[in-house]
């Protein structure tokens, strides 16, 4: 017969088994469920400037963090002239594989989604543009004059690059239910449209002057995310959480601009010029060396011409050589080479990059910086020439002409004087009394040949 305690233990075991069975039957939950009444959140990040390795890694991390932290959506503010095609593909893959709805807002007014920015906008679940913005012109251009790639790189290469980009744009637009024909036209014909026209053509879904208005408009709409799941957006009163890039991502993104690369080369040239003219100063040489390394690192993240880098380096070398030759011709040639290197720095026909025509260094930027560098280099060269004309202040030659005092009687055989804060053995053709002022006429080893200064 079972005791009462045994019956209680048996009942507890049955309840435990029933609870485990219910838990096993319940569907698994991939993300934590917010408590009832909790305010929804929207993650936010920005792509401002060139699409590069830094910004590409940042947006990919934003998608991963939005999923891991359980945000209801990811809002991306976009303003870009384009950039690296590989980094663009990284962003597009992350957007298309995201289980969190991705909303792209091109803004504020005056912003644009140029070249590679077209692919990123098309890859979003919902897209909006601020009034006064534009999107398009994804066709590759080359050179300062913006020649067609067929004229610059050959017909077969141009066709290959163009067809690949068209297929990329069409695939994204088709998957997101946007205007496939316009997506192809933006690449083939450099089609570019303002915000209102983009909405009419179904390139974007809305025109919103602010991010808040875009989130209000998107509230309650359903979008399909990766895996075929449908998600209903709750963004009207959501709390916006800004996701910041890492230090390495910020550094790479900050360096990846032609003006930054050019400025770093100029700083490197000026620092090395100062160090060469004033050996031992250390600080100018250190700054110049660091700037040169950063310039080389930044140039590896941009579509730069190798010939332009050679022009910059040769120009800097000629300015350094001017300090030792002081002919004027070497320095002037170096300044001209630096200016030409800046103008031809960006190679916009690199098949791995899609950027618009604004992505280059123009005369309005190159001329002022080059003039400033030329003035600084000329000043350093002038001061160096002045320094070389000064009398030597160190060594034996530096003692000649110095004045001192006789510490003991000085005669043709022996004597002692005090010169330059030190005691010296001295000799003189005429006897000199102790305490008399003397001047050094010649130095041989540790012996000073002096004369008495008549007062």
What DSSP assignment string belongs to 101-114? -EEEEE-STT-EEE
Residue 199 lies in a domain: yes
CB-based contact 424:451 (threshold 8 Å): no
Residue that is last in its domain, among 220, 246, 272: 246
Same domain, 233 and 310: no
- Mean pLDDT to the nearest integer, 53-77: 96
Pairwise pLDDT comparison (7 vs 338), residue with the higher score: 338
The phi, psi pair for 203, rounded to 5°, reads -80, -40
Q: With bands split at pLDDT 50, 70 and 90, how would you rate the model's confidence at 320?
A: confident
Those residues whose C-beta lies under 8 Å from the C-beta of residue 151, and which sit 6 or more positions away, are none
Model pLDDT, residue 194: 97
Q: Tell me if 30 is assigned to some domain.
A: no
Q: Are 292 and 239 contained in the same domain? A: no
Q: Are residues 239 and 271 in the same domain?
A: no
Could you tell me if residue 113 is left (phi over 0), alpha (psi between -120 and 50 degrees) or otherwise beta?
beta
Distance from CA of residue 271 to its chain's centroid?
20
Domain assignment present for residue 90? The answer is yes
**Rounded to an integer, what distance in angstroms lies between the CA atom of residue 235 and that of residue 211?**
11
Pick 53 or 46 by higher pLDDT. Answer: 46
Whether the predicted pLDDT of 357 surpasses 90: no
Question: Taking a C-beta distance cutoff of 8 angstroms, is the pair 273, 320 a contact?
Answer: yes
Give residues with Cβ within 8 angstroms of 201, minimum separation 6.
179, 182, 193
Residues 340 and 447 in one domain: no
pLDDT in the model for residue 358:
58
Q: In the numeric block, which tokens belong to residue 361? A: 């260094």
Burial profile 141-177: b = 16 or more Cβ within 10 angstroms, e = fewer:
bbbeeeeebeebbeeeebeebbeebbebbbbbbeebe
Residue entry with tokens 């560098």:
373
pLDDT of 178 > 90? The answer is yes
User: Looking at residue 1, what is its pLDDT?
Assistant: 40
Most confident of 65-69, 278-282, 300-304, 397-401: 65-69
Domain limits at 439? 395-452
Q: Token pair for residue 4?
A: 């009462």
The arithmetic mean of pLDDT across residues 148-159, rounded, is: 56
Find the range with the poorest average confidence among 30-44, 195-209, 361-375.
30-44
19 occurs within a structural domain: no
For residue 390, the model assigns a pLDDT of 55
**If pLDDT is split at 50, 70 and 90, which confidence band does 35 have?**
very low
Does 99 map to a domain?
yes
Angstrom distance (rounded) from CA 404 to CA 451: 10
Which pTM value belongs to this model? 0.66
Together in a domain, 281 and 416: no
Note whether residue 8 is domain-resident.
Answer: no
pLDDT above 50 (res 259): yes
Q: Is residue 36 in a domain?
A: no
Confidence (pLDDT) at 385: 64
Model pLDDT, residue 156: 67
The structure tokens listed for 202 are 């179904």
The total of other beta-carbon atoms located within 10 Å of residue 395's CB is: 8
Where is the domain boundary, 246, 276, 311? Answer: 246
Q: What is the mean pLDDT of residues 174-182?
A: 96
For residues 187-194, average pLDDT: 91
Q: Is the pLDDT of residue 144 over 50?
A: no
Instruction: Provide, rounded to the nearest whole percent, the portion of the chain with pLDDT above 90.
Output: 42
Do 283 and 347 reside in the same domain of the chain? yes
Sequence-separated contacts (24+) of 310-319 with Cβ below 8 Å: 310/341, 311/337, 311/338, 311/340, 311/341, 311/344, 312/262, 312/265, 312/269, 312/337, 312/338, 312/341, 312/342, 312/345, 315/269, 315/341, 316/265, 316/268, 316/269, 316/272, 316/273, 319/269, 319/273, 319/377
b (16+ CB within 10 A) / e for 421-455: eeebebbbeeebeeebebbbeebeeeebebebeee
Separation of alpha carbons 423 and 402, rounded Å: 13
The model's confidence at residue 40, banded by pLDDT at 50, 70 and 90, is very high
Please identify which residue in the block is written with the tokens 């069975």.
21
427 and 385 within one domain: no
Which CATH number does the domain housing residue 413 bear?
2.40.50.140
What is the rounded average pLDDT of the residues 185-214?
Answer: 95
pLDDT band at 94 (very low <50, low <70, confident <90, very high): very high
Query: Domain tally for the chain?
Result: 3
Q: What pLDDT, on the 0 to 100 scale, is given for residue 2?
A: 42
| pLDDT tens per residue across span 272-315 | 777 776 677 788 889 988 998 888 877 776 777 788 878 887 88
One domain, residues 232 and 342:
no
Spatial CB neighbours of 234, under 8 Å, sequence gap ≥ 6: 40, 72, 219, 220
Task: Point out the domain boundary residue: 370, 389, 408.
Answer: 389
Residue 34 lies in a domain: no
Q: What angle do CA 63, 231, 103 make, to 5 degrees?
A: 45
Residue 362 is predicted with a pLDDT of 66
In this model, does residue 130 exceed pLDDT 80? yes
355 and 407 belong to one structural domain? no
In this structure, what token pair is assigned to residue 80?
């870009």
Which of the pair, 392 or 344, is modelled with greater confidence? 344
- Alpha-carbon distance of 43 to 77, in angstroms, equals 11
Tell me what pLDDT residue 272 has: 77
CA 329 – CA 441 distance, rounded (Å): 41
Highest mean pLDDT among 82-86, 367-371, 413-417: 413-417
The answer to whether 127 and 106 have CB atoms below 8 angstroms apart is yes
Q: Are residues 282 and 171 in the same domain?
A: no
Phi then psi for 353, rounded to 5 degrees?
-130, 140
Residue 76 has what pLDDT? 98
Q: Is the pLDDT of residue 141 over 60?
A: no
Residues 310 and 406 in one domain: no
Q: Are residues 100 and 170 in the same domain?
A: yes
Distance of alpha carbon 355 from alpha carbon 437, whole angstroms: 77
Q: What is the CATH number of the domain that holds 135?
A: 3.90.226.10
For tokens 């233990």, name the residue.
Answer: 9
78-92, 253-267, 344-358: least confident range: 344-358
- Distance, CA of 302 to CA of 255 (rounded, Å): 9
Confidence of residue 217 (pLDDT cuts 50, 70, 90): very high
What is residue 400's three-state secondary structure? coil
Which of 3-17, 162-176, 322-336 is predicted least confidently?
A: 3-17
pLDDT surpasses 80 at 346: no
Which candidate, 61, 126, 69, places its Cα nearest to that of 90? Answer: 61
């Amino acid at each position: 017969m079972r005791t009462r305690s045994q019956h209680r233990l048996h009942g507890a075991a049955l309840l435990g088994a029933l609870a485990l069975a219910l838990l096993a039957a319940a569907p698994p939950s991939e993300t934590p469920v917010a408590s009832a009444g909790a305010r929804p959140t929207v993650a936010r990040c920005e792509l401002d400037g060139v699409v590069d390795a830094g910004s590409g890694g940042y947006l990919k991390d934003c998608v991963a963090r939005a999923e891991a932290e359980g945000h209801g959506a990811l809002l991306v503010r976009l303003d870009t002239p384009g950039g690296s095609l590989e980094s663009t593909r990284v962003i597009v893959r992350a957007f298309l594989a995201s289980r969190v709805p991705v909303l792209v807002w091109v803004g504020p007014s005056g912003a644009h989604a140029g070249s590679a920015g077209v692919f990123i906008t098309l890859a979003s679940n919902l897209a909006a543009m601020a009034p006064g913005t534009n999107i398009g012109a994804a066709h590759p251009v080359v050179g300062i004059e913006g020649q067609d790639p067929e004229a610059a790189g050959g017909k077969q290469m141009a066709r290959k690059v163009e067809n690949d980009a068209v297929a990329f744009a069409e695939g994204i637009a088709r998957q997101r239910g946007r205007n496939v024909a316009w997506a192809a036209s933006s690449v083939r014909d450099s089609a570019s449209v303002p915000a209102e026209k983009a909405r009419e053509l179904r390139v974007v879904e809305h025109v919103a002057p602010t991010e808040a208005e875009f989130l209000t408009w998107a509230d309650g709409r359903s979008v399909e995310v990766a895996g075929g799941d449908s998600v209903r957006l709750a963004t009207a009163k959501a709390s916006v959480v800004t996701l910041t890039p890492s230090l390495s991502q910020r550094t790479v993104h900050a360096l990846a601009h032609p003006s930054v690369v050019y400025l770093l080369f100029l700083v490197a040239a000026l620092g090395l010029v100062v160090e060469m003219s004033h050996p031992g100063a250390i600080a100018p040489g250190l700054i110049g060396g660091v700037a040169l390394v950063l310039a080389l690192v930044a140039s590896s993240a941009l579509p730069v011409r190798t010939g332009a880098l050679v022009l910059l380096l040769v120009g800097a070398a000629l300015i350094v050589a001017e300090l030792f030759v002081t002919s004027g011709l070497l320095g002037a040639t170096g300044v001209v080479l630096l200016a030409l290197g800046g103008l031809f720095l960006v190679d916009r026909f690199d098949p791995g990059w899609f950027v618009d025509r604004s992505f280059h260094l123009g005369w309005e930027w190159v001329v002022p910086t080059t003039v400033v560098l030329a003035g600084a280099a000329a000043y350093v060269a002038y001061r160096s020439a002045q320094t070389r004309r000064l009398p030597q202040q160190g060594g034996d030659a530096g003692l000649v002409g110095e004045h001192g005092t006789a510490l003991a009687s000085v005669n043709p055989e022996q004597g002692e004087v005090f010169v330059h804060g030190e005691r010296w053995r001295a000799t003189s053709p005429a006897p000199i009394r102790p305490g008399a002022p003397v001047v050094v006429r010649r130095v041989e080893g540790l012996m000073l040949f002096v004369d008495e200064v008549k007062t």
